[in-house]
Amino acid sequence: MQLIDPIIEFQHEIQQIRRDIHAHPELCYEEHRTADVVARQLEAWGIPVVRGLGVTGVLGIIKQGTSARAIGLRADMDALPMQEINTFAHTSRHAGKMHACGHDGHTAMLLGAAHYLSKHQVFDGTVYVIFQPAEEGGGGAKAMIKDGLFEKYPMEAVFGMHNWPGAAVGTFGVTPGPMMASSNEFYVTVKGKGAHAAQPHKGIDPVMTAVQIAQSWQTIISRNASPLESAVLSVTQIHAGSATNVIPDEAELVGTVRTFTTSMLDMIEHRMRTIAEHTAAAFDAEVEFKFKRNYPPLINHPKETAFATEVMRAVVGAEHVDAQVEPTMGAEDFAFMLQEKPGCYVFIGNGDGQHRDIGHGLGPCNLHNPSYDFNDDLLPIGATYWVRLAETYLKKAAPAAI
């Protein structure tokens, strides 16, 4: 592993920042304290800062040399609305809020890289360090773009990174093309006619209609989608009724759809609506169909993925880089940035949880788990990757021969 010595020497300071952020989690668009911490550190290192992109976003501008070339490195800052069960010293001090996805670590790794880049002349151009709010359902990437991130601060490409529990520390994973799925949700209300449960013939049963719809939806992927394409349609909630002897007026179906392509998503939404409306009509019921598209698929660009892969191999060795990692049906709003700019998103191994301090919860160290904690051993690895990515992409021209 070829880590940068000054980054290793600075690990303790970055770890303290990471654990401070972990202890003070903030939800999407509420990251005021976190943004203050980030901005204060960047300014202390002489890095110009822009505040307010995407409400609470922070942008650091690290310029060296004379080149007009520029790239962006992005980390997310927000926490999740869940209760932490860890009791170690840096556990969350705010009930119902927790850094259970490692955004505290992502922020710290990028700060570690920014510190090094500000002190060493290793590239020619501009590196924009992007600290994004509201990844967890708030679409903070889209909000930053809407506020002019790429228009006001032009960059050729943008790169992102996420820790990945279960993958060994010192490893990376990436794949060109679809890396993470789109995230979508549906809310379908079946409207029938209430009646006494002992006299069902006097009503229109929305419960049985909803059950028929839910079962029929399961044929969409198995019978309308190519077996070579991946997709998920999950009904996660069914709400109906309040008494055992009453057929209710309405029943609600709620759930999620995940796909790697927009064409697949279009097909699934169309078939869901058609099945719901026609099934309801067959039972003399009515249906209200709502389908919400949240995050698009995250699609890595081939050229930038090949470039990032070579940088990762230089940092940890080729044998520790999986260049065809299995895509995940999880979603990530960095996808919005990759729709606007070429770039690549990678996974960095977070280990199996053995790193956690005494006082961690009994659950696994998985993402969105109340006993999760980011592995601080990743800090110099991730920061080194960011630095090598920047200096390689914005490589200084060789001195002219005399």
Which residues neighbour 40 within 8 Å (Cβ) at sequence distance 6 or greater? none
The two tokens of residue 4 are 């940068």
The residue length of the chain stands at: 402
pLDDT confidence tier of residue 7, bands split at 50, 70 and 90: very high
Q: Is 330 exposed, middle or buried (0-12, 13-18, 19+ CB in 10 A)?
A: middle
Residue 307 pLDDT greater than 60, yes or no: yes
How far the first Cα of the chain sits from its last, in Å, is 37
Q: Report which of 247, 230, 143 is spatially closest to residue 182, judged by C-alpha positions.
A: 230
pLDDT confidence tier of residue 399, bands split at 50, 70 and 90: low
Would you list the DSSP string of 306-344? HHHHHHHHHHH-GGGEETTPPPBS---THHHHHHHS-EE
pLDDT tens figures, 262-279 = 999 999 999 999 999 999
Angle, vertex CA 396, rays to CA 393 and CA 402, nearest 5: 150
Which CATH code fits 183-295?
3.30.70.360
The two tokens of residue 67 are 């080149």
pLDDT tens figures, 183-213 = 999 999 999 999 999 999 999 999 999 999 9
pLDDT tens figures, 47-74 = 999 999 999 999 999 999 999 999 999 9
What gap in Å lies between CA 278 and CA 280, rounded to an integer? 5
pLDDT confidence tier of residue 388, bands split at 50, 70 and 90: very high
DSSP-H helix ranges across 68-166 = 103-119, 140-146, 149-152
Domain ranges of the chain: 5-180+297-393, 183-295
What gap in Å lies between CA 97 and CA 78, rounded to an integer? 10
Angle, vertex CA 31, rays to CA 236 and CA 94, nearest 5: 70
- Computed over its alpha carbons, how large is the radius of gyration of the chain? 24
pLDDT tens figures, 221-256 = 999 999 999 999 999 999 999 999 999 999 999 999
The two tokens of residue 218 are 């399961």
3-state DSSP helix/strand/coil % of the chain, to nearest 5? 35, 25, 40
Q: Report which of 248, 100, 172 is spatially closest to residue 91, judged by C-alpha positions.
A: 100
Say if residues 102 and 162 touch (Cβ distance below 8 Å). yes
Q: What is the model's pLDDT at position 25? A: 98
Q: Report which of 174, 210, 206, 208 is spatially closest to residue 192, judged by C-alpha positions.
A: 206
Q: What is the model's pLDDT at position 344? A: 98
pLDDT tens figures, 88-143 = 999 999 999 999 999 999 999 999 999 999 999 899 999 999 999 999 999 999 99
| Distance (Å) of CA 194 to CA 234, 305, 344 | 27, 57, 53
Residue 129 CA from chain centroid, whole number: 17
Helices 11-23 and 103-119: angle between axes, nearest 10 degrees = 150
For 5-180+297-393, give the CATH class. alpha beta
